[in-house]
Amino acid sequence: MRNLIIPLLVCIACAVVVSITAVTVRTEQIANVENEKRNKIISAAGIEITEDKVENEFKKITTLYVDFRSNEFVSVEAKYDHLKAVLKSDLSEIVPKDKDIAILKRRENVGPIYVWANENKEVERVVLPIRGYGLWGTLYGYLSLGSDLNSVNGIEFYDHKETPGLGGEVVNEDWKAIWKGKLIYNQDGGVELRVVKGAAKDEYQIDGLSGATLTSNGVSNMINYWLGDEAYGPALKKIKEHIKNS
Ligand SMILES: Cc1cc2nc3c(=O)[nH]c(=O)nc-3n(C[C@H](O)[C@H](O)[C@H](O)COP(=O)(O)O)c2cc1C
Domain boundaries, given as residue ranges, for the chain: 41-245
Residue with CA nearest ligand 1 atom 11: 212
> What is the CA(83)–ligand 1 centre distance, in A?
28
Which of 35-39, 65-69, 230-234 comes out lowest in average pLDDT?
35-39
Q: Is residue 80 predicted with pLDDT exceeding 70?
A: yes
* CB-based contact 75:63 (threshold 8 Å): no
> What is the CA(165)–ligand 1 centre distance, in A?
10
Phi then psi for 203, rounded to 5 degrees? -75, -5
pLDDT score, position 20 = 81
Please tell me the total number of residues recorded for the chain in this structure.
246
Q: Is residue 228 predicted with pLDDT exceeding 80?
A: yes
Residue with CA nearest ligand 1 atom 27: 211
**CA 104, CA 60: separation in Å to the nearest integer?**
31
**CA 64, CA 114: separation in Å to the nearest integer?**
6
pLDDT score, position 15 = 86
Residues 6+ apart with CB under 8 A from 175: 169, 207, 209
pLDDT score, position 2 = 67
Average pLDDT value for residue range 110-118? 93
* CB-based contact 168:162 (threshold 8 Å): yes
Asked whether 215 lines ligand 1 (CB < 6 A), one says yes
> What is the CA(213)–ligand 1 centre distance, in A?
7
pLDDT score, position 168 = 98
**CA 141, CA 227: separation in Å to the nearest integer?**
13
**CA 188, CA 35: separation in Å to the nearest integer?**
38
Residues pairing with 133 in the sheet: 138
Q: Is the pTM of this model over 0.85?
A: yes
pLDDT band at 1 (very low <50, low <70, confident <90, very high): low
Rg of the chain (C-alpha set): 21
**9 Cα distance to chain centroid:** 48
Give the CB-side neighbour count of residue 178, counting CA atoms within 13 A: 21
Mean pLDDT of the chain: 91
